[in-house]
Structure 1
Amino acid sequence: MTTTSEVGSVTVPGGDLAYEVLGGSTAPVLAIHGISSHRRLWSWLHAEAPELTLVTPDLRGRGDSVEVQGPYGLARHADDMTTVLDVLGLDRVPVVGMSMGGFVALELRHRHPERVASLTLVDGGFPLTPPPGLTPDNVESAFADRTGRLGRRWDRLDAYLEYFCSTTGQLLDPDDPLLRHYLDHDLRDGLVRLSADALVEDGRDTFFGDVPWRDVGVPVRWTHAEWSIGRESAPMYPADVVDMYAPQCVSVVALDGLDHAGTIMTVRGAQATAALLREALA
């Protein structure tokens, strides 16, 4: 389903961080997944734009990097990304980030501005308004669908697929082979490879941390979904919030009819991201 040029790992504080390079003909693009995700999130993008060369790490606490210890947080992830770039001999790259990955991308530009040529943010990156009642002390409540995956054994991929499509991925196609490919990377010995500590610490940083979104200094391209999880749910970025952040961007794409997961885990979402990355690489 994807062409793998290289699978490897880099040593970071706390362990060895895994990455995969999805080979293509373009200059490399660093692709940073979301808070409860992993590197196979970018399978849809590579399927729709196989010419893109994508450097796709598993962030610490996820996937093949699940045993990399904390501390977590956006700054730690941003510094990890520079280590990946160093090992691959990449000085300055376009960066795409989905959801929390967009926040990591902005933090990477803030902390290491010389490493980032442009930013493509997929339904993330710009500051979020916390849901009513959410505080730094109960941030895990915002991720009940994710924590519900943990601490139980999934003896069959089909059972995990059914749970995922009934919670986080309500509008995704359960018959999509790329979705099975994605979910298979979550599991080892029937357990989901996601650190609860990473989820909480990163969630707290994403909702309540300082986001360096003003005067980024490189072109920013942004897609945003109509809904968050499921049809008719409140979006992560309501219209008035989109209007506030849009002047910071050279391109803004509204993905009507898609929810948060669908912004990258569907053909249409992946095609929209691919179009923005082609702009960035041109």
Structure 2
Amino acid sequence: MFVPVAGGDLAVEIHDGDTPPALAIHGVSGSRKLWNWVAAHHFSLIAPDLRGRGDSFEVPGASIRQHADDMVRVLDALDLATVTVCGMSMGAYVAVDLAVRHPDRVRTLVLVDGGFPMPAHAQMTEELLSAAFAPQLAARERTWTVDEYLGVQAVVNPLIDATDPLIHEYFAHDLTADGHLRLSADTLIADATDVVFGTSRWQELTVPTWFVHAEWSTGPDSPPAYTVEQAQEFRTVLPVLREPVLINEVDHGGTVMTRAGAAVTAEVLAEALK
């Protein structure tokens, strides 16, 4: 379905399952197809393509606050007063903003490797940020077949299973029919800047919150976005935070884009939906 928001129409995919509905918000360079692995566990999910990505590619604008306001429009369009919200990476920051500014719309919250301050962000500069997203920006300058694009992504994301049909579907969704990447450069950089240099309002959360984090960041043995110790520190500050859940032997993307990671994330989401 398409939901009117400021500047255009937001694409939203509805997964019918056996649970109450949960709003699932993808990361900075992802799309709604990120949630296919979790949906496979028979969840009812509301999965938007955020503006500047996928089928919402032509909707201009960016910022954590803007995306959160869009999510309110999505809930209104579906006549949902309150739902569990699950956000991954940047989507977790959007989920936090939504829950802080609209606590009446968020029943419970699941944050997947995001939403809290990442220690690595403290070392980031605008130049380093631009360099970090240079490959995605360069990918926009050429056309791709799905297999070519998947081959490159399998190198960048060594833990994904390139033979998984859901992986194929995920990366195919990034491309137009003629092989161009459906990712707005302006939106990507603006959103990444907001995540890295903005201020998460996580300490203002009042709804029950679960936190799932990965053992690695980008591939085996890489430093994690959050250590176990850091996750526990968040819990000492935030009374509504449940015991953090570490997913072993997955990286940032693998929390939802691998069968093993998605199984753990799904288990936590199921607990939040109770």
TM-score of the superposition, structure 2-length normalised? 0.94
> Which residue number corresponds to residue 40 of structure 1?
33
Out of 2, 8, 17, the residue aligned to residue 15 of structure 1 is 8
1:281 partnered with 2:273: yes
CA contact (8 A) 1:220 1:251 kept: no
125-134 vs 184-193, which moves further: 125-134
> Which residue number corresponds to residue 226 of structure 2?
237
Alpha-carbon shift at residue 139 of structure 1 (Å) = 2.2
Matched residue of 1:174: which SS? coil
Query: Whole-Å Cα distance in 1 between the matches of residues 97 and 195 of structure 2?
Result: 11
CA contact (8 A) 1:130 1:207 kept: no
> Which residue number corresponds to residue 253 of structure 2?
261
CA contact (8 A) 2:228 2:246 kept: no
Matched residue of 1:11: which SS? strand
Query: Whole-Å Cα distance in 2 between the matches of residues 111 and 140 of structure 1?
Result: 30
> Which residue number corresponds to residue 4 of structure 1?
none
Query: Whole-Å Cα distance in 1 between the matches of residues 135 and 214 of structure 2?
Result: 19
- Offset from partner CA, 1:15-63 (integer Å, 9 cap, x none): 111101001122110000000000010000011x11x110000000000
Query: Whole-Å Cα distance in 2 between the matches of residues 87 and 96 of structure 1?
Result: 19
* 4+ long deviations beyond 3 Å: 130-133
Alpha-carbon shift at residue 233 of structure 1 (Å) = 1.4
Matched residue of 1:19: which SS? strand
139-148 vs 59-68, which moves further: 139-148
> Which residue number corresponds to residue 147 of structure 1?
137
Percent same amino acid at aligned positions? 46
Change (3 A) 1:241 1:148: farther
- Offset from partner CA, 1:182-205 (integer Å, 9 cap, x none): 111111010110111111111111
Query: Whole-Å Cα distance in 1 between the matches of residues 242 and 117 of structure 2?
Result: 18
Out of 42, 50, 67, the residue aligned to residue 58 of structure 2 is 67
The amino acid that maps onto 1:23 is D
Alpha-carbon shift at residue 128 of structure 1 (Å) = 1.5
Unaligned runs of 5+ residues in structure 1 are: 1-7
The amino acid that maps onto 1:89 is D
> Which residue number corresponds to residue 5 of structure 1?
none
Query: Whole-Å Cα distance in 2 between the matches of residues 98 and 201 of structure 1?
Result: 18
Looking at secondary structure, tell me which structure has more strand per residue.
1
> Which residue number corresponds to residue 218 of structure 1?
207
- Offset from partner CA, 1:63-84 (integer Å, 9 cap, x none): 00000011x1100000000000
CA contact (8 A) 2:100 2:204 kept: no
- Offset from partner CA, 1:251-276 (integer Å, 9 cap, x none): 31111211011100111111111111
The amino acid that maps onto 1:273 is T
How large is the Cα RMSD of the aligned pairs? 1.4
1:199 partnered with 2:188: yes
TM-score of the superposition, structure 1-length normalised? 0.92
Change (3 A) 1:241 1:143: farther
CA contact (8 A) 2:22 2:85 kept: yes
Query: What number of residue pairs does the alignment pair up?
Result: 270
The amino acid that maps onto 1:74 is I
Alpha-carbon shift at residue 132 of structure 1 (Å) = 7.2
1:87-236 mapped onto 2 (5 Å cutoff): 87-130=77-120, 134-136=124-126, 138-154=128-144, 156-167=145-156, 169-188=157-176, 189-236=178-225
